Amino acid sequence: MTTEIRNLRTPNNKSTDTSLKPTIEKDPKEKATDIGQYLLCRQCLKIISSPAERIEVQGAHVHTFANPQGIVYEIGCFKNAAGCGYTGIPTDEYTWFRGFRWRVALCGLCLTHLGWLFMSTARLSFNGLILNRLVESKKQV
Ligand SMILES: [Zn+2]
């Protein structure tokens, strides 16, 4: 389960800053190596997002949460996820990020549940994507 995500950066910023910071701007060299890479739906290989869309939310890119049923999800925060579709009415019920409402994010092709779209009243939004439901790829599709 962890092999596919071992290349993802782990959070090292412990600040409580709640702004949405692109992690990529910190290291221009790393940005170059990300060019051409994509994050694909593990189920159907549709392009969902890319490593360049990774952001930190509340001080970290990766967050681990359990839902009310006790299922644990490891999610990464992404500014944009063009391959996702969204369903459901925005709600703040059981939200994992204070001040953010959420909708369910699905693969736009095979409708696999990939995570959640989080939206704040300040119109900030980001995608929290379940990392083990994505695969990294350099291929152009
Ligand atoms: Zn899919």
- Render pLDDT for 74-106 as a digit per residue (tens, 0 to 9): 999 999 999 999 999 999 998 999 999 999 999
DSSP-based three-state secondary structure for 37 = coil
Q: Is 119 helix (H, G, I), strand (E, B) or coil?
A: strand
For residue 71, the one-letter residue type is: I
Neighbouring CB atoms inside 10 A of 81's CB total 25
Confidence of residue 138 (pLDDT cuts 50, 70, 90): confident
CATH superfamily of 8-13+23-137: Peptide methionine sulfoxide reductase. (2.170.150.20)
Q: Is the pTM of this model over 0.85?
A: no
> For the chain, what percent of residues have pLDDT higher than 70?
72
Please give all residues whose CB falls under 5 A of ion ligand 1, grouped by chain where several chains appear: 41, 43-44, 46, 107, 109-110, 112
Cα 52 to ligand 1 centre (Å): 20
Structure confidence at residue 108 as a pLDDT band (50, 70, 90): very high
CA dihedral (76, 79, 82, 87) in degrees, to 10, reads 70
Query: Which tokens is 121 given?
Result: 């009243």
Which of residues 138 and 75 earns the better pLDDT score? 75
Name the more confident of 42 and 18: 42
